[in-house]
Amino acid sequence: MDAHNSRRSRSRFVGELGVAAALAATSQPALAETFNGAQPPQTIKRNPLDAYPRPPFPEQSQPWPGLANRMQPRPDHGEASYRGSNRLAGRRALITGGDSGMGRAAAIAFAREGADVAFGYLPAEESDAREVVQLIRAAGRRALPLPGDIRTEAFCRGLVERTVSGLGGIDILVNNAARQQSRDSILQLSSEDFDATFKTNVYAMFWLSKAAIPHMQPGSAIVNTASVQAYAPSENLLDYAQTKAAIVAFTKSLAKQLAKQGIRVNAVAPGPIWTPLQVSGGQPTSKLPTFGEETPYGRPGQPAELASIYVELASAESSYSTGQVYGASGGSGNP
């Protein structure tokens, strides 16, 4: 490595440390302390029972779609803990819902694994999105923020076109953005609500995949975000659970279609994860203080705990995995 490249690499690493530490200081003090210590976080054994915050949580609510930076406790997306190992070097990814939750965790991890990242989000989520841009660039990768609403086919096509234009292609598509609104009864579920949930969770996945596939080469990957709701639906998430079951079927069917092209399609099925989805109408406010308490771990998962799954499914190491659904639910009955 020549002197110029050596200085540039050191600069990128130092920048990544600075951004991660700054964000961690406001959200996960324990992680920030570990991250700045002598021993890398990945070498430390952590008891999963108490590795992250446990209920009870403060009562809180936000207008939809919600912001991670206003949640208490603030979710951990791996800002301070995720360390890459060049598994996605040179890849170009598009992630929907990349401002927070699993999408943000994937964006951070992908960048630290060497990928350039474009991500979609709603304009109301701009403050979260700015943090993600900063984190991606601190990792030395290109960040392409793309605000807008994925409930129209034209916008979804535009997301792919702008990714291909801005990053020079697309190798990874993560269909992650979702709408979840709790309704106690089918009688409270309007046709407008039902339509909005299906447009966000199912139609957009179809439109984005259809637009991205012609640009993908053998070795590319599509990763969809399903849910434990596909297998154990809650009574108050009638429309959301249906969309997640559809995502599982879509994943398995499309994987068979694309196998001969060398494009893999898999899904992640999280259990209860601490994201803005929950505090902005996704759960009844009365249930938030005990959210995740019913799992064998007695707590919800954090987005950071799923980041490595998205990386694995996007990387060449998973070349024999397609049409699979990977569960991450703290022991609560996922596949």
- Residues forming beta bridges with residue 138, ordered by sequence position: none
pLDDT tens sequence across 63-82: 999 999 999 999 999 999 99
Determine what percent of the chain is predicted with pLDDT higher than 90. Answer: 85
Q: Which sequence positions are flagged as catalytic?
A: 240
pLDDT tens sequence across 102-148: 999 999 999 999 999 999 999 999 999 999 999 999 999 999 999 99
Q: Where are the domains of the chain?
A: 3-41+69-328
- If you classify domain 3-41+69-328 with CATH, what class do you get? alpha beta
Does residue 4 or residue 132 have the better pLDDT? 132
For residue 332, is pLDDT > 90? no
Angstrom distances, CA of residue 279 to CA of 61, 107, 117, 151, 156:
5, 22, 27, 22, 26
